Amino acid sequence: MNYFKRKFIILLYHKIGDYPEKAKFPGLYVSEKNFDKQIKYLKNKGYVFLTLSEMKQLYDNEYYPVLNNLKHESGNYDSAADTSKNEKNKFVSITFDDGSRSIYTKGLKIIKNNNVNATVFMVSDLIGDVNVWDIKNGEIKDEMLKPEELREMIKAGIEIGAHTRTHPHLTMISEKNAYEEISDSKKILEEKLNININFFAYPYGDYNENVKKLAAKAGFEGAVITKTGIVKNNADFFALRRVAIRHNTDFFKFKRKIFKVKYFY
């Protein structure tokens, strides 16, 4: 089998905007100015922006020729993920964990203005609510995305993924409860939004081999973690590495992070 050299970078964000003075976890915020500058930098460098579902389709088409042929024969092939889209092997996916309303109120306009897309991982039981799990840990209140906002984002080309029902540490609860958190979040989001939910994000990046199996059992195509790295040949699609972008990731640090993961991972 001939393997290609394509590498996919997945960026991890949480909230868009300047962090409040009393925020316990300021690292979760990225200012609008920085977010916009980061997207423009990647576009100027020739990166193609993909949702995670598009990324997986392109990955399968690249690394699994048999599957590629089957997709063409069955007609199940999305030209949006065509390899001809990018000859420089530069692909990036923007992801947001948790489902903060700031993605809609401050991030969506930047995403639209730059004509890119993203994947948002939503805590299903807290749609239209607040960040209950963070508040318990001493964080300030943050509003979560509302159903109508999620639907508008979907129309704008943003993919929605699942992030459990309540944001627990999955390795610290029973297997039964962990599976319910994982599988029910998928079902709830699919029913509320009338879409397929293909990808999952482990809360806190907390997972092990058993939790990975539960995510696969629940019917997801893949899952993302918080460890640094990129997606390349022989990637574990239930432990996809990402590059975390935080409030103190200035432009120099951002460019350095992209350079490092592309050439050293």
- Number of domains into which the chain is organized: 1
Residue 33 lies in a domain: yes
**52-61, 74-83, 242-251, 256-265: which has the minimum mean pLDDT?**
74-83
In a domain, 2, yes or no: no
**Which is higher by pLDDT, 2 or 172?**
172
Residue range 43-62: average pLDDT?
93
pTM: 0.90
Asked if residue 240 is part of any domain, the answer here is yes
Q: Please choose, from the candidates 89, 60, 66, the residue with its C-alpha nearest in 3D space to the C-alpha of residue 235.
A: 60
Mean pLDDT of 93-120: 98
Identify the band that residue 64 occupies on the pLDDT scale cut at 50, 70 and 90. Answer: low
Whether 28 is in a domain gets the answer yes
Question: Are the C-beta atoms of 8 and 51 separated by less than 8 Å?
Answer: no
pLDDT tens string 218-258: 999 999 999 999 998 889 999 999 999 999 999 999 999 99
Q: How many CB atoms lie within 10 A of CB 29?
A: 23
Percent of the chain, pLDDT > 90?
Answer: 83
In this prediction, residue 81 carries a pLDDT of 46
Looking at residue 153, its pLDDT comes to: 98
Summary mean pLDDT of the chain: 90
Report yes or no on 142 lying in a domain: yes
- What's the token pair of residue 80? 């949006």
Instruction: Look at residue 138 and give its three-state secondary structure.
Output: coil
pLDDT at 82: 47
pLDDT for 172 beyond 90:
yes
How far is the C-alpha of 25 from the C-alpha of 29, rounded, in Å? 8
The separation between the first and the last C-alpha atoms of the chain, rounded to the nearest angstrom, is 22
Mapped onto helix, strand or coil, the DSSP state of residue 196 is: coil
Q: Is residue 257 part of a domain?
A: yes
Q: What's the token pair of residue 191?
A: 């029913």
Domain that holds residue 245: 7-264
Please state, in angstroms and rounded to a whole number, the distance separating the CA atoms of residues 108 and 72. Answer: 33
Q: Which two tokens stand for residue 166?
A: 């309540």
Mean pLDDT of 168-172: 98
Determine, yes or no, domain membership for 82.
yes
Q: What is the CATH number of the domain that holds 11?
A: 3.20.20.370
The answer to the question of residue 1 being in a domain is no
Q: How far apart are the C-alpha atoms of 140 and 156, rounded to whole Å?
A: 29
Cα(239)–Cα(5) distance, integer angstroms: 20
